[in-house]
């Protein structure tokens, strides 16, 4: 069954910059928009713009991507037809270790934006897979070059499956992916959703810059589906299992192993066991 059936949902209206600007309540994100019908990747475009000096908050949107990038070098399937592919340039004066927290803050912002614009509260699988039930509806990818131990700039790329159809996906991904129109059974206003993403992202970014780590982690924990779960962590030379007892101030997982030892986990692949 397609996730999105055109007979049940009206076709998505194309995005346009004027409508996106109207009513956008942000002070620095989305003040400058670049909107494309199709490009290889909004992250790649935003990184190039940032390199040429584009200001913080510059936002790149596309109706389709031909080389959408996901985490772990995976492809982010990005057909035309009313999904959201956007990337925002940030210039935090921060060390790479702090970006783990920024990545959680970004996931939290997108989950809250979906709640606000669509009326569904998604949950977060660490670090920032945004899921409804057990299916992924959105993902984030932070990228940026590091000079002298710091990011000169960062791009936060966000993909949201709004109208994605099962037919767009290879067979093996179908069971694990969903879309907002499928879940809500209603049309989704992509302009409002984009604005909500930028507004929520600005608020969480502000909290990050002001060092409000506890505030971010408390809000994140409330939406986390990983907290309290037993997890299996894929490491270079095997697996480790433990129970997630919290998050570290740099956005890592704190796990407790069977012998009671607690250790932070940062970049490994985490699989929920139960």
Q: Is 264 in the site for ligand BTN (CB under 6 A)?
A: no
| Cβ at position 209, least distance to ligand BTN in Å | 22
Residue 39 or residue 242: which is nearer to ligand BTN going by CB?
39
**Interacting span for ligand BTN (CB under 6 A) from 21-29, 84-92, 102-110, 228-236:** 84-92
Residue pair 3/179 in contact (Cβ under 8 Å)? The answer is yes
Window 130 to 159, contacts with ligand BTN (CB under 6 A) = 139-141, 157-159
| Opening angle at CA 84, ends 81 and 85, nearest 5 | 110
Residues 12-41 that bind ligand BTN (CB under 6 A): 41
What is the Cα–Cα distance from 79 to 233, expressed in whole angstroms?
32
Nearest to 114 by CA among 186, 60, 162: 162
Please state whether beta strands 33-39 and 59-65 pair in parallel, antiparallel, or not at all (unpaired). Answer: parallel
Contact call for residue 88 and ligand BTN (CB under 6 A): no
Q: Which is nearer to ligand BTN, 114 or 141 (CB)?
A: 141
Measured from the CB atom, the residue of 82 and 139 that comes closer to ligand BTN is: 139
Residue 59, interface with ligand BTN (CB under 6 A)?
A: no
Question: Strands of 262-265's sheet, edge to edge?
Answer: 262-265, 253-256, 238-247, 230-235, 269-272
Q: Does 178 bind ligand BTN (CB under 6 A)?
A: no
Nearer to ligand BTN, 43 or 213 (CB): 43
Task: For residues 260 and 243, give the distance between their C-alpha atoms in angstroms, rounded to a whole number.
Answer: 10
Closest approach of ligand BTN to the CB of residue 232, in Å: 19
The H or E element that residue 136 is part of is strand 135-143
Q: Are 199 and 113 in contact (CB under 8 A)?
A: yes
Interface residues toward ligand BTN, by CB under 6 A: 41-43, 65, 68-71, 74, 76, 85-87, 129, 139-141, 157-159
């Amino acid at each position: 069954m397609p996730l999105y059936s055109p007979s049940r949902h009206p076709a998505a209206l194309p995005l346009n910059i004027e409508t996106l600007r109207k009513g956008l309540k942000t002070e620095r994100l989305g003040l400058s928009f670049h909107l494309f019908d199709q490009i290889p990747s909004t992250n790649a475009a935003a990184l190039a713009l940032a390199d040429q000096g584009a200001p913080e908050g510059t936002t790149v949107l596309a109706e389709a991507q031909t080389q959408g990038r996901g985490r772990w070098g995976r492809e982010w399937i990005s057909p035309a037809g009313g999904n959201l592919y956007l990337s925002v340039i940030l210039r935090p004066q921060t060390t790479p270790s702090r970006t783990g927290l920024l990545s959680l803050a970004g996931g939290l912002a997108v989950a809250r934006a979906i709640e606000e614009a669509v009326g569904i509260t998604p949950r977060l699988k660490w670090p920032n897979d945004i899921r409804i039930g057990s299916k992924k509806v959105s993902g984030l990818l932070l990228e940026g070059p590091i000079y002298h131990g710091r990011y000169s700039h960062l791009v936060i790329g966000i993909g949201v499956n709004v109208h994605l159809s099962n037919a767009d996906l290879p067979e093996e991904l179908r069971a694990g992916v969903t879309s907002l129109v499928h879940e809500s059974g209603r049309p989704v206003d992509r302009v409002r959703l984009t604005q909500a993403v930028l507004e929520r992202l600005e608020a969480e970014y502000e909290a990050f810059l002001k060092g409000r780590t506890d505030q971010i982690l408390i809000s994140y924990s409330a939406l986390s589906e990983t907290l309290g779960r037993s997890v299996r962590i894929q490491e270079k030379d095997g697996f480790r299992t433990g129970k997630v007892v919290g998050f570290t101030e740099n956005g890592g997982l704190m796990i407790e192993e069977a012998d009671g030892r607690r250790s932070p986990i940062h970049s490994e692949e985490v699989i929920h066991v139960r």
